[in-house]
Structure 1
Amino acid sequence: MLVFKFGGASVKEPEGVKNLVKILEHFEGNNILVVVSAMGKTTNAMEEVVKSAYFKKENLEEKIEVVRAFHTDLILGLFKNPDPILNFLDDKINEIRIKFERYNGEKFDEFYDQIVSFGEILSTKIISYYFEEIDLMHKWLDSRKYIKTDSTFREGKVNWDVTKSSIELIDQDFPLYITQGFLGGTSDGKTTTLGREGSDYSASIFAHCLGAESVTIWKDVPGVLCADPRLFENPGKYEQLSYQEAIEMTYYGATVIHPKTIKPLQNSAIPLFVKPFLHPSESGTVVDDKPFTQTDLPSVIVKKNQVLISISTLDFSFVTEANISNIFEIIARHNLKCNLSQNSAMSYTVCLDFDEMKFDDLKADLQKRFKILYNTDLELITVRHYQSETLKNITEGRKVFVEQLSRNTAQVVVR
């Protein structure tokens, strides 16, 4: 079986959905499981709905209408007979409203998962209805019944034993399945999500548990590039990456592949292809167990919206291993990830993604034990297989807050 993952950009308009079908036709004769993200920028729009509802803002209906209007336009442009799927869309919008009315004090992260998940349900149902209209035989699967997680909302931890037992029940002799990325479910039936942009990880989970032949992520780029083409002109493409190199790149923030995607594939020796969805015959990039050799092409990874926190003791004593342990315990409690850390005798500095929903609570917890100073609106730039000229170019004209160099990796925090 092949596992294909299509991101939101690839199905953001009617032509994108039709192109998905063309890709399936290109691989006719293979049994395929298709994993799909929410369409376009729906997850962003659903996040706005969640914030408006949770904080009881007056613009809630306006935010809901953005979601409805986007999907309505796509449906009208895709279907000859749009009424059944428009009715389904109305039902789902009403279901969201009912969830708001029945809100009973859940914390933000749990509330978030129950609402934002509608984006993936809508996208896969719309595509499933389209498959029916063109007589493409398939089955729609609810991934929440297969990928089972704990109750860490917005970052669900997979229960691999239960998940594998569930996914192994899927009949691999059936030609085509469609399911959702990003979503999981708890043992008591609540929806969880696997972390932002987690649909790649979903595809990897299904592939691992099914013993798939390969996974292909269909993107709007020709493969894995050495830099973000939106930020850098004409970045080079990697023809091949080792599992280890791919993990390093994604760990530091390369967004073309979700960080958790690689491990399940490596464990089962399943190759991962990253290919352009408009040109399915092109080679793209393959990630496999062969050594990585393109070290002459440095990869530049930019993480925006960073906060740099310098932490020192309240009594002017040295920062010890016990202090550092306390700091990481607090960061982990708020379900945040440290992107960079640096210590001196009197302070410990960490760089994190700035999360406006969590930062004030994190700051308050740290200030119970430590003195803190922080800077926001920063960028963390990581260069794998760096060259001095590359570092000079990316820092020229910018204020450097922190710089770290190791054998293969350079990191700078800049504004």
Structure 2
Amino acid sequence: MEELQGLQVYKFGGASVKDAAAILNLCRIVRDFGPQGPLVVVVSAMGKTTNALEEIYDLAYRGEDYSAQLGAVEAYHHRAATELHSYFAQPDDTMVTQLPNYFQELHQTLQSINSVGSYDEGYDQVVSFGESLSAYLVTWALGNALPKQVLYNGALVATDTTWREGRVDWVKTEERTQEALHGLLNDWRGRVMVTEGFVGQVQVDGFTSTTTLGREGSDYTAAILAYCLRAERVTIWKDVAGLLNADPKIFPDTVRYPEISYRETIEMAYYGASVIHPKTLKPLADRGIPLYVKSFLDPAAAGTVIHECQHPALAPAFIRKTDQCLLSFASKDFSFISEENLAVIFSALAQAKLKINVMQNSAISFSVCVDFSERRVHQLLDLLREQFTLHYNTGLMLFTIKNYDAASIQQLTTGRALLLEQRTRSTFQFVCKA
């Protein structure tokens, strides 16, 4: 195992690369705050590109016209490319000339999408283009902005064929990262390598196919690469001051945690805290790699460090998940919900790829709250309707208070009709209408 002393991983999300000005700010952060040693930069798709590509894919899959939506995505990236090109005095011209090739390839992929094996497999082939485009623009901008060698490497994470939720093949991924590392080994000081977040690869029948790691999976990519490269630290650059006890767009008077433990953060991420992807912390904790959450709007500020530590009682954390669905299953013969019934329900939930956010059972019924996907919910209903009476409600919200107290519960529940509530020693959750 070859190692580079002082290697760090930076991850920049969609808001931090949303346009030319944001990408230039990324360049300034790498120049002014980046490490003296080698740096791996992981990027998400620009702005809301992933949402736009999801819409385009749905249209293409249904055989409907997507030309206007695709044209808007292309114009958006072309505008950013043109503005970046005009910023530099003597820029390399390859970006503006090569960018159309990406969209030609995307168009060809969309035209042949119905020949792909499944909806989820096709999704990965299309939606992953957002990260490829972003990584291309960021690589070009860094290469023109910095007096250091900037390298680009495509998806480094090897996965299985679990489309849209690729499971990491850690052995192959470590082999790939080691190969990529050779590009940094010769006179590595100050070198930068840019790669795509969210995206993985798998070999299927001798051909390389694209997979993805789940929505917001670029954080996870950064952690995977840090684990495989034995990085010194990871920094996730966000539009907030660090890890806060609530989303400042939703809750007033938020509190920043200066430091917080891996375990506490893993639990907050599991319940839906938007700052960190739920799978990010485990590989970092396994290697003892600290994770810093910092603001790209104020890069000199302290932010938050997540590591193995002891801290006093934390301020209650408020987490809200929207677009929730409450599903209730009842036995048709009024018999008790048994372990055998639960095994059938859990198996069907796994088949439909529905993640349980809250569950609760009574004598003759079992309820779960999940992220709503019409296609997946109907798949679940098809699997279970012969055995159970099923009801579901959509358009709901799930609130979680981590480290709750009486005041925090009253603050969130006052004036709301609770459809389901549950509390443990440290966590209070409830489902209500949006």
Given the alignment, which residue of 117, 137, 142 partners 2:128?
A: 117
The aligned counterpart of 1:69 is 75
Distance 2:403 2:143 in 1: 49
Aligned residues: 411
Give unpaired runs (5+ residues) of structure 1.
Answer: none
Alignment-derived partner of residue 107 in structure 1 = 118
Q: For residues 272 and 386 of structure 2, what CA distance do their matches in structure 1 show? A: 31
- Equivalent position of 1:414 in the other structure: 432
Q: Residue 160 of structure 2 aligns to a residue in which SS?
A: coil
1:209-358 mapped onto 2 (5 Å cutoff): 209-295=228-314, 297-358=315-376
Displacement, 1:30?
2.2
The match for 2:4 is: none
CA contact (8 A) 1:245 1:292 kept: no
**Equivalent residue letter for 2:81:** I
Tell me how large the CA RMSD over aligned residues is.
1.4
1:38 is paired with a residue whose SS is coil
TM-score of the superposition, structure 2-length normalised?
Answer: 0.92
Which of 2, 13, 16 does residue 10 from structure 1 map onto? 16
Show the counterpart of 2:3: none
Aligned to 1:183: 199
Residues of 1 paired with 2:341 and 2:22: CA distance?
52
1:279, distance to aligned residue in structure 2 (A): 1.5
Q: Distance in 2 between matches of 1:82 and 1:254?
A: 40
The whole-number CA distance in structure 2 between the counterparts of 1:111 and 1:360 is 20
Cα distance in 1 between the residues matched to 2:111 and 2:131: 22
Deviation per CA, 1:276-335: give whole Å up to 9, x if none.
01221211011001124242x000110100000110112111100111111111001111
Hey, what's the Cα distance between the residues in 1 that align with 2:164 and 2:117? 13
Q: More deviation in 182-191 or 361-370?
A: 361-370
Q: Which runs of 5+ in 2 are unaligned?
A: 1-6
Distance apart, 1:83 and its partner CA:
5.7
| Aligned position for 1:139 | 151
Structure 1 Cα separation of the partners of residues 343 and 47 of structure 2: 41
Q: Which residue of 2 aligns with 1:153?
A: 163
Deviations 1:228-277 (A, max 9, x none): 11111121111111010011000000010000000000000000000001
Asked if the contact 2:8–2:35 (Cα under 8 Å) also holds between the matched residues in 1, the reply is: no
Relative to structure 1, the CA distance from residue 294 to residue 87 in structure 2 (aligned partners, 3 Å threshold; closer, same or farther) is farther
Contact 1:343 1:349 in 2 (8 A): yes
Tell me the alpha carbon deviations over residues 369-400 of structure 1, each in whole angstroms, 9 at most, x when there is no partner. Answer: 21111111000100001011111111122110
Where 1:186 maps in the other structure, the secondary structure is strand
TM-fit CA distance, 1:185: 0.4
Give the C-alpha shift of residue 129 in structure 1: 1.6
SS at match of 1:86: helix
1:390 maps to which of 393, 405, 408: 408
Q: What TM-score comes out, normalization by structure 1 length?
A: 0.96
Deviation at 1:368, TM superposition (A): 2.7
Stretch of structure 1 that moved more, 217-226 or 170-179: 170-179
Q: Is the 8 A contact 2:60 2:111 kept in 1?
A: no
Question: Would you say the 8 A contact 2:269–2:277 is kept in 1?
Answer: yes
In the TM superposition, what is the alpha-carbon distance from 1:43 to its structure 2 partner?
Answer: 0.5
Q: 1:235 to 1:282 in 2, by over 3 A?
A: same
* Paired letter, 1:50: Y
- Mapped to 2, the partners of 1:190 and 1:294 lie a distance apart of 47
Distance 1:247 1:28, change over 3 A: closer
Are 1:31 and 2:38 matched, yes or no?
yes
Structure 1 residue 82: deviation in Å?
A: 8.4
Cα distance in 2 for residues equivalent to 1:249 and 1:300: 9
**Mapped contact 1:76–1:82 kept (Cα < 8 A):** no
95-104 or 127-136, which moves further after superposition? 127-136
2-structure distance, mates of 1:131, 1:222: 24
CA distance in 2, matches of 1:222, 1:319: 47
Contact 1:395-1:414 within 8 A present in 2 as well: no
**Contact 2:164 2:212 survives alignment (8 Å):** yes
Matches of 1:28 and 1:291 in 2, distance apart?
27
CA distance in 2, matches of 1:383, 1:249: 9
- Identify the range of structure 1 (344-353 vs 184-193) with the bigger mean alpha-carbon deviation: 184-193
Amino acid at match of 1:91: N
Partner Cα separation in structure 2 for residue 229 and residue 197 of structure 1:
19
Instruction: Return the alpha-carbon distance in structure 2 between the equivalents of residues 305 and 411 of structure 1.
Output: 16
SS at match of 1:317: coil
Give the counterpart letter for 1:183 in structure 2.
V
Q: Report the counterpart of residue 26 of structure 2 in structure 1.
A: 20
